[in-house]
């Protein structure tokens, strides 16, 4: 377990002796969950409860145009939802129990796309992306419901580089640990898109890529839901454990 040290002086008679307090570092990693377009925090809550049991502070939320603000969805833009995500991140980072150097963002589909962009705007140590979507940089301020779906599918099936896309550009600069989860039978996010993301993480500290056999985009089957939960919890457990134990180096830093 990670520890904190504090130098102290022990006054004894006419002497001042050097001492050091060692105590457990009780600050906890924080995890921010970002749902997909048309979804809500509901599915994230179950996973968040399980991960909170590992000793993490988790935050789920509904982006504008979802949950209680569904009536606004027609006019919501990517800019709007990115602002929502930034506000949620800042709320999590202000939590008194949070270690601000140990924040993870877990995004699905549209939420994964926005989470990738967030890494260029806020410090993120761990990034988990399930079937992350891609959108053209153009028409950023246009309501998302008005984007051409057929054009999006053509775009997502195209080989792209970090220079071609804002989200991929953010991934290219990201230096933390990454989890990519793909659905074998995804009808919305093709394998090409996942490979565009995977290829973009040239500076990542580590990259884990998993494919859920037989899964569709929404993880409709219960077994597929369980498989994703198992993959995510296992990865988060590994990342949190490594952050707490550190390496055997004198500085206690991971290698």
The counts of H helices and E strands in the chain are: 7, 8
Q: Is the pLDDT of residue 247 over 60?
A: no
pTM: 0.88
Mention every residue, 6+ apart, whose C-beta is less than 8 A from residue 172: 162, 200, 201, 202, 203
Can you tell me the distance from the alpha carbon of 63 to that of 70, in angstroms, rounded to the nearest whole number? 9
Q: Please, what is the angle between helix 42-52 and helix 222-245, to 10°?
A: 40
What pLDDT is attached to residue 108?
A: 98
Q: Is the pLDDT of residue 37 over 70?
A: yes
Tokens 């050091």 belong to residue: 20
Could you give the count of Cα atoms lying within 13 Å of 82 in the half-sphere of its Cβ? Answer: 18
Mention every residue, 6+ apart, whose C-beta is less than 8 A from residue 24: 1, 2, 3, 4
- Residue 43 confidence class, pLDDT cut points 50, 70, 90: confident
Identify the CA nearest to 106 among candidates 56, 65, 169.
Answer: 56
What pLDDT is attached to residue 248?
A: 32
Q: Is the pLDDT of residue 75 over 80?
A: yes
Domains plus CATH for the chain?
Answer: 27-245 (3.40.50.1820)
Can you tell me the distance from the alpha carbon of 89 to that of 166, in angstroms, rounded to the nearest whole number? 19
Task: Give CA separation, 202 vs 128, 173, 177, 225, in Å.
Answer: 16, 8, 11, 29
What pLDDT is attached to residue 25?
A: 67
Could you give the count of Cα atoms lying within 13 Å of 120 in the half-sphere of its Cβ? Answer: 15
Mention every residue, 6+ apart, whose C-beta is less than 8 A from residue 14: none
- Residue range 95-122, pLDDT digits in tens: 999 999 999 999 999 999 999 999 999 9
What pLDDT is attached to residue 255?
A: 30
- Residue 244 confidence class, pLDDT cut points 50, 70, 90: low
What pLDDT is attached to residue 8?
A: 85
- Between 107 and 23, the more confident residue is 107
CB atoms under 10 Å from CB of 127, counted, come to 27
What pLDDT is attached to residue 200?
A: 98
Task: Taking residues 116-142, report their average pLDDT.
Answer: 97
- Residue range 153-193, pLDDT digits in tens: 999 999 999 999 999 999 999 999 999 999 999 999 999 99
Tokens 């006019």 belong to residue: 75
Identify the CA nearest to 84 among candidates 102, 57, 66.
Answer: 66
What pLDDT is attached to residue 1?
A: 53
Task: Give CA separation, 218 vs 187, 212, 252, in Å.
Answer: 9, 12, 40
Q: What is the mean pLDDT of the chain?
A: 92
8 Å CB contact between 135 and 103: no
């Amino acid at each position: 377990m990670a520890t904190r040290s504090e130098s102290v002086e022990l006054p004894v008679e006419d002497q001042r002796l050097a001492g050091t307090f060692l105590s457990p570092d009780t600050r906890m990693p924080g995890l921010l969950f970002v749902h997909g377009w048309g979804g809500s925090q509901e599915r994230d809550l179950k996973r968040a409860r399980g991960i909170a049991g590992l000793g993490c502070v988790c935050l789920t939320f509904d982006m504008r145009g979802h949950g209680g603000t569904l009536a606004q969805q027609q006019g919501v833009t990517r800019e709007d939802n990115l602002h929502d995500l930034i506000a949620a991140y800042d709320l999590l980072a202000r939590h008194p129990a949070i270690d601000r150097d140990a924040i993870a963002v877990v995004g699905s589909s549209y939420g994964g796309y926005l989470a990738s962009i967030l890494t260029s705007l806020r410090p993120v140590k761990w990034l988990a992306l399930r079937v992350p979507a891609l959108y053209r940089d153009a028409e950023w301020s246009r309501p998302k419901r008005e984007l051409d779906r057929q054009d999006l599918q053509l775009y997502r099936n195209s080989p792209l580089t970090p220079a071609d896309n804002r989200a991929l550009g953010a991934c290219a600069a990201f230096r933390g640990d990454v989890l990519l989860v793909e659905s074998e039978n995804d009808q919305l996010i093709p394998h090409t898109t996942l490979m565009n993301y995977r290829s973009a993480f040239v500076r990542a500290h580590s990259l884990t890529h998993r494919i859920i056999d037989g899964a569709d985009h929404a993880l409709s089957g219960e077994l597929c839901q369980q498989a994703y939960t198992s993959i995510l919890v296992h990865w988060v457990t590994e990342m949190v454990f490594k952050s707490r134990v550190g390496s055997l180096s004198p500085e206690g830093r991971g290698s």
